[in-house]
Structure 1
Amino acid sequence: MEINEHYDVVVVGGGPAGINAAIAAGRKNMKTLLIERYGFLGGMSTAALVYPWMTFHTNNGKQVIKGIAQEIVSRLQERGGSPGHIRDTIGFVYSVTPYHPEKYIVLAIEMLKEAGVELLLHSFVDNVCVEDDQITSVTVTGKSGRIHIAGEIFIDATGDGDVSHLAGVPMFKGREKDHKMQPMTMKFRMRGVNTTKITQYMIDHPSHFYKKSLIDELKAGKVSLSGVQGFYPQWEKAKLPINRDQVLFFIGPAEDEVLVNCTRVQGYDGTNVHDLSNAEYEGRKQVLMVADFLTQHVPGFEHAAVTTVGTQIGIRETRRIIGHYVLDKEDVVQGRKFDDVIARSGYPIDIHDPTKRGVEFAFVKGDGAFDIPYRCLIPKNVNNLLAAGRCISTTHEAFATTRLTPSAMATGQAAGTAASLAVEKNVSPASVEVQDLQDELKANGAVLE
């Protein structure tokens, strides 16, 4: 095989985890390549319209995710691409972080260029060459044909664990008892929404909304509407053939714009192209159905219209590596601390049932945050590979919090930093000194305590 290029660090997947991993490695003067299958960056944040980012804080308001993730938010604020962290008026978490997807894409590319990272778009990794438990190269297919790329350390930030799977890493898929996965969602945006009317309806009918909604604060003018969960009577009366129990949407980026998260496509495997083909069709049918429902039955949507539908259906759950440690539900709920912590999160467990209507919640006790250990990023069987983002090592339950975007950003920065240290010291990621890794992360703004 003729190798076309050789890099210190090769990151596969240009979503939030991959972006942050590549920036971290590039800033450590590593020759770094970021590979992305689409012609744009952002992963689920842009391709599937996952919006807003939630959450950078614990439920008591302490920010536990910073570093490169916070730098992205701050730089978006400077260019009018985000208001920063604002209160979640649903009350499920302390804060949400709205952002403008196109401004995020451009900023991400600029930050990658500043860090000296090379970018390869329109390129899909379809083969991984492994020799003696080491990845020697990956092969990407695109308009230019097949390109073979060698590297010292590889980072799987594909979300679905594609690189790990192709490399022969042992993997989890879905929940342990039956491998069923959380449902997919086709998200969409509507313009022409009267948010003032929605706010007044919430004040007048508080029982129609999620019990933690900040309705008193809305009434007092202390917060502005950022998200809505409820309209229970309207949803129940409509009896749409969608297996969920409420309306959910978030405001923005424009004042009269909302991101609707109401479709639910169950029973499909996001790593199977036949299932994905069916899910895309089902999701788009549901979009039209939900949009009609909103304009006909929900106050404030009378003059609204669909403006944007996801480039692809949003995928919550597929494969995860089996790593040196598997984060579980009790680790999250008890707010456990680990000596090899590389990121923290305050997001609760949030499982969209694979077969039923509901969502299972479990909130973090103690100080409201749990640790993500470095060992969750290190797969078994392959020595020069790290995982970041959705495909790190967790159970089905713990995955329902680590899958969220700010956590993916944090594990991405950790993976990129660890990969750089491994190259510098000429050791495997598993042999990187955890204290050195933690010191680097702290020096670059990460919160580890």
Structure 2
Amino acid sequence: MLPRHTRRAQVPSTRPAEYSPKLSPKNDRLRRRRRRQTLAGSHSASFDVVVAGGGAAGVAAAIGAARAGARVALLEKTGNLGGAAVSASVLTYCGFFSRRHELVVAGVGARFLDVLAEDHLYLTHTSPETGNKVVLLDLETTKRALDRLVLESGVEALLHVDVVSADTRDGEVQAITYAHAGSTYSIRANSFVDATGDGSLGAASGALMDEAPPHERQASTMVMRIGGVVEDAQLTGDAVEAAVRGYRSSTGGDMPRTRGPLVRLPLSREIMALLVDLDGDMLDPAQHTRAEQLGRLQALHYWRALRDGIPGWQDSFLVETGPTLGIRETRRMVGRERVTKEDVASGRRRPDVVVARGGWPMESHVGVGRTAYGGIRDDAWFDIPIGATQSATYANLWAAGRLICSDSDAYASTRVMGTAFATGHAAGVAAAWQALKGEVDVAGIQATLRDQDALL
């Protein structure tokens, strides 16, 4: 059984000089009122920490902050927690394990795995082509498990809300405005975490963001789920490639990728296929829309190719695409420190400032139909420093998941959802420490993370 996470830390303050920004003084009466308020029926509320984005990173940030003693609000734009795992059917968590299959992410992430284990659904899969080990997910179980963890932690979550603007003064984010069904609401906090994937909070606040030119960003994928495939049907890359090439030759179908991973999912026994690659600027709504429409058409071609070209697929059917596009890259936050390709490749260890581990290789979808890998020394892990999670613009704005500060090569490793649990947990604990104590104490944050069973 994986470790439980129920303790709270009582740690001394030993704040290093390089992480000394303090928040402006807060009114004690406001703090007391913040403890009593709820989000229900309120157009204006205050919390210690507000987390925007309810994927792996945002859930971990919110729970980590709550366990550190903060009162936390979690805002999510869709109707489910889980981010790309549930909204785009990316039903594998990459990054929990190193290439040598050592667990490198624990804490809140491991508590999620505990919940899967309780339902007898903690299952892993090792790619026969890359050797990478992932956690397999069932869609509905993932939704319920994340709901349960958030509710148990005392976090106040709001679904179906979009961050639309931010109030900033004196080098801090003071409040954000979010929208739901044509109405707007304001929420104040001492610290904020952007775990939106696209950097919606950072962009709304005017924080420095790093945006690669669209043609240099990683390709996106429209995930397909396929049912009716017999249990012993081939799922190998060679079988896929032969089927796709044969279909493309006979029909002229638009199918840039000739091979990609096929994984059988728990419970449903459906096949998750990552074959439909698309490029474009996913921060442009017109390009984003066209990509999703094209992705659904390409998915039809790929399913037909597999159905007609691989034994055991003849009675298969396309269950669903997406429903949304799995976006790999849009923005990253400019932080106080950047994770680099050399940090990842060398497995750099930084004990004085580490707040999370990264163990996934550099997996870069360098263009439509093309993937390049770069390893980590000894197939181990690298340390992610606290400065990569803290905005260079606002002292009280933190980044989590694929938003942490990195160069484009390191990003190919740090972006995955298993690692997002670790960086989210770190950002949430750092935000809570800052909100409650008015400082960023690296040693204290590390002690709190360890007390919550994170691996550093």
The Cα offsets for residues 60-86 of structure 1, whole Å up to 9 and x where unpaired, read as: 221111111011011112124x233x3
> Quick one: which of 157, 170, 175 aligns to 2:195?
157
The Cα offsets for residues 308-348 of structure 1, whole Å up to 9 and x where unpaired, read as: 22121110000001111111111111111123111112211
> Quick one: which of 159, 165, 170 aligns to 1:127?
165
The Cα offsets for residues 210-237 of structure 1, whole Å up to 9 and x where unpaired, read as: xxxxxxxxxxxxxxxxxxxx63333333
Runs ≥4 residues deviating over 4 A: none
Residue 164 (structure 1) shift: 0.8
What is the alpha-carbon distance in structure 1 between the residues aligned to residue 155 and residue 267 of structure 2? 32
1:346 aligns with 2:346: no
The amino acid across from 2:138 in the alignment is H
* Contact kept in structure 2, 1:51 and 1:250, CA below 8 Å: no
Residue in structure 2 matched with residue 25 of structure 1 by the alignment? 65
1:188 aligns with 2:228: no
Q: Secondary structure of the residue that 1:127 maps to in structure 2?
A: strand
Residue in structure 1 matched with residue 99 of structure 2 by the alignment? 59
Q: Secondary structure of the residue that 1:262 maps to in structure 2?
A: strand
Root-mean-square deviation (CA), in Å?
A: 1.8
Identity %: 30
What is the alpha-carbon distance in structure 1 between the residues aligned to residue 162 and residue 131 of structure 2? 35
Residue in structure 1 matched with residue 294 of structure 2 by the alignment? 282
What is the alpha-carbon distance in structure 1 between the residues aligned to residue 373 and residue 379 of structure 2? 18
* Contact kept in structure 1, 2:138 and 2:267, CA below 8 Å: no
The Cα offsets for residues 38-91 of structure 1, whole Å up to 9 and x where unpaired, read as: 1111110100011211231112221111111011011112124x233x341424
* Contact kept in structure 2, 1:58 and 1:93, CA below 8 Å: no
Residue in structure 2 matched with residue 387 of structure 1 by the alignment? 399
Q: Secondary structure of the residue that 2:432 maps to in structure 1?
A: helix
Q: TM-score w.r.t. structure 2 length?
A: 0.86
**Match runs of 1:139-218 below 5 Å:** 139-143=177-181, 145-174=183-212, 180-198=216-234, 209=238
Q: Secondary structure of the residue that 1:264 maps to in structure 2?
A: strand
* Contact kept in structure 2, 1:13 and 1:37, CA below 8 Å: yes
Residue in structure 2 matched with residue 326 of structure 1 by the alignment? 338
What is the alpha-carbon distance in structure 2 between the residues aligned to residue 404 and residue 388 of structure 1? 11
The amino acid across from 2:357 in the alignment is R
The Cα offsets for residues 234-287 of structure 1, whole Å up to 9 and x where unpaired, read as: 333333423223132111123631111100111x11111111111111111111
- The verdict on how the C-alpha distance between 1:344 and 1:445 changes in structure 2, with shifts beyond 3 A counting, is same
Residue 3 (structure 1) shift: 6.6
The amino acid across from 1:83 in the alignment is Y
> Quick one: which of 429, 433, 437 aligns to 1:417?
429
* Contact kept in structure 2, 1:235 and 1:247, CA below 8 Å: no
* Contact kept in structure 2, 1:55 and 1:93, CA below 8 Å: no
Residue in structure 2 matched with residue 257 of structure 1 by the alignment? 270
1:357 aligns with 2:395: no
Residue in structure 2 matched with residue 104 of structure 1 by the alignment? 142
> Quick one: which of 440, 443, 455 aligns to 1:447?
455
Residue in structure 2 matched with residue 71 of structure 1 by the alignment? 111
- The verdict on how the C-alpha distance between 1:308 and 1:327 changes in structure 2, with shifts beyond 3 A counting, is same
- The verdict on how the C-alpha distance between 1:308 and 1:179 changes in structure 2, with shifts beyond 3 A counting, is closer
The Cα offsets for residues 114-134 of structure 1, whole Å up to 9 and x where unpaired, read as: 111111111100111111221
What is the alpha-carbon distance in structure 1 between the residues aligned to residue 284 and residue 114 of structure 2? 38
What is the alpha-carbon distance in structure 2 between the residues aligned to residue 290 and residue 283 of structure 1? 10
- The verdict on how the C-alpha distance between 1:107 and 1:405 changes in structure 2, with shifts beyond 3 A counting, is same
Q: TM-score w.r.t. structure 1 length?
A: 0.87
5+ residue gaps, structure 2, are: 1-41
What is the alpha-carbon distance in structure 1 between the residues aligned to residue 198 and residue 131 of structure 2? 26
Which range is displaced more, 234-243 or 367-376? 234-243
Residue in structure 2 matched with residue 83 of structure 1 by the alignment? 122
